[in-house]
A and B are shown apart, each in its own frame.
Chain A
């Protein structure tokens, strides 16, 4: 069975020089699960015609 935390270790290896503790990996895994849920929620939105937010639009409104 593959290690569910291996993806996290692999990704971190390229980002931080020191090994990350197993406790931190477990914490990160829980956080990433929540983060993935949020991303998935937004992926399901019908945003096909919607461009990213542009603060210039605030200028037009009053």
Chain B
């Protein structure tokens, strides 16, 4: 019998709706697990236990009166510490904001609250989301539940670690170059970055406006679909938010992949790549073929330029957002974020615009490819979780800091705004490996359906 804290979000939701488990039982189970394990993992910045229990009790009473708000009613979840939360400190993993208590909630926090979610607290992250290791100079490293000597990836490292260890039933991360999918892959959980504009970013501290996305990290694909259903939708406060209606993301999950046409890019993703990751990802792709999908190699020459465009846009926008604080609080930044922010200040305006022009070209090439293919398949991360403090990693004949590998496979879908998910697809030397599935704009449902087939062992 699974411990209550180990149930999936969908399972605990069904237990709560049936009355077999109360929201307070579920919250207590997570809080006990946090008490027991988070001293070692460091996945939470702030635990709001009392408020969570009070809210869970209230939602339990509401349920007893016959009011059920939906699948998140009474379900305890966590938030990366860059979502504004009214009355709860929001640090973005920084020392500069260590005592900042916002007086409003982010839009998605409001949506989740209205859907009946119970907030357990704010989760640890890479400083200001500007990095993929979650080794935080101010609050210490977040540790990977699969091996506490290793990083969980980042920047949403605390969220992925907490989900993987049963310290919540789901979490919201954010993703500018891969910050949801990379830690999901390294911790063995599911991470979904929706289409740019699908989920409001109002009230989420930015890293780079034109690349930032909001999305869920969960233990199962169905759970990701349930969370996306609760947070997707138009928000006039976010100028990029779409007015498209929100479909059911769970309806087609079990439809399988028979007849789908899936493309595997020939370039870029397959070298440098750890051999164990290659084996696991190839096996997952073969599984999809056996389940009836047609898999073909595709060529995307634009990939040679995508990394340059992403790097310049990210560095320019992050530096612009932080410019005033860098001037007034230079010493408050950790060394690695500070140097990256200074670096971005040297980018000329015409090079930034050029990068945005190259981005359009890359985006068009991918959209053209996706006229022929239903989705693209790639590794989610070319390496498994590196050790904490590891200065460099060797993969094939490339030796470089872990940061350079960690988001190598994911940034393309921030640059293009396309939906992409990382789903666990096996292990290499005992560490989790993720398969990345990316689809057409607004096609999160299909991306999740393919992920569900991988999860089911197709």
Question: Is this pair of chains taken from one and the same complex?
Answer: yes
A binding-site residues for B, Cβ under 8 Å: 8, 11-12, 15-18, 20, 24, 27-28, 31-32, 35, 38-39, 41-43, 45, 47, 50-55, 57-59, 61-62
Instruction: Please tell me if the beta carbons of B327 and A62 are within 8 angstroms of each other in the complex.
Output: no
Q: Looking at the complex, which one of A11, A18, A53 makes contact with B363 (CB distance below 8 Å)?
A: A53
B111 adjacent to chain A (CB < 8 Å): no
- Point out the residue from B196, B328, B339 that lies within 8 Å of A28, measured CB to CB: B339
Mask, B336-360, CB within 8 Å of A = 1, is 0001101101111001011111111
Q: Within B301-325, which residues are at the interface with A (CB < 8 Å)?
A: 305, 307-309, 311-312, 315, 323
Q: Is the pair A12, B342 in contact by a Cβ cutoff of 8 Å?
A: yes
B250 within 8 A of partner (CB)? no
Most buried by B among A15, A16, A45, A53: A53
Residues of B within 8 A of A20 (CB): 342
Report the tally of A-B residue pairs with Cβ distances under 8 A. 113
- A-B contacts, 14 of them at CB < 8 A, read A11-B345, A15-B323, A24-B339, A35-B311, A38-B308, A42-B309, A51-B357, A51-B360, A55-B196, A55-B210, A58-B197, A58-B442, A59-B441, A61-B441
| C-alpha spacing A35/B347, complex, angstroms | 8
Contacts of A53 in B (CB 8 A): 210, 356-357, 359-360, 363
Name B177-198 residues within 8 Å CB distance of A: 195-197
Contact at A42–B311, with CB atoms within 8 Å? no
**Smallest CB separation, B435 vs chain A (Å):** 24
Asked if B242 and A59 make an inter-chain contact with CB atoms under 8 angstroms apart, the answer reads yes
Listed from nearest, the 4 A-B pairs whose CB atoms lie closest are A52-B356, A38-B308, A53-B359, A39-B351
Bound form: Cα–Cα A47–B357 in Å: 7
| Given A11-B345, A42-B305, A61-B441, A55-B327 contact (CB < 8 Å) | no
Residue of B nearest to A45 (CB): B358
Closest to A32 in B: B346
Cβ A43 vs Cβ B346 within 8 A:
no
B330 vs chain A, min Cβ distance (A) = 5
The contact of B342 among A16, A52, A58, by CB within 8 Å, is A16
- Complex CA gap A53/B310 in Å reads 12
| Chain A nearest Cβ from B71, distance in angstroms | 26
Contact A62 B440 (CB under 8 A): yes
With CB as the reference atom, state the residue of chain B lying closest to A39: B351
Q: By the criterion CB–CB under 8 Å, are B351 and A42 in contact?
A: yes
List the A residue with the shortest CB-CB distance to B441: A58
**Contact A55 B197, beta carbon cutoff 8 Å:** yes
- Cα–Cα distance between A49 and B335 once the two chains are bound (Å): 40
Structural contact, B351 and A43, CB atoms closer than 8 A: yes
**Cα A13 to Cα B370 with chains together (Å):** 48
A47 touches B361 (CB 8 A): yes
| B353 adjacent to A52 (CB under 8 Å) | yes
Contacts of B441 in A (CB 8 A): 58-59, 61-62
A52 nearest CB across to chain B (Å): 4
Residues of chain A with a CB closer than 8 A to B355's CB? 39, 42
Residues of chain A contacted by B326 (CB below 8 angstroms) = 15-16
Q: Does residue B254 face the partner (Cβ distance < 8 Å to A)?
A: no
Which residues of A have CB within 8 Å of B363?
53, 57
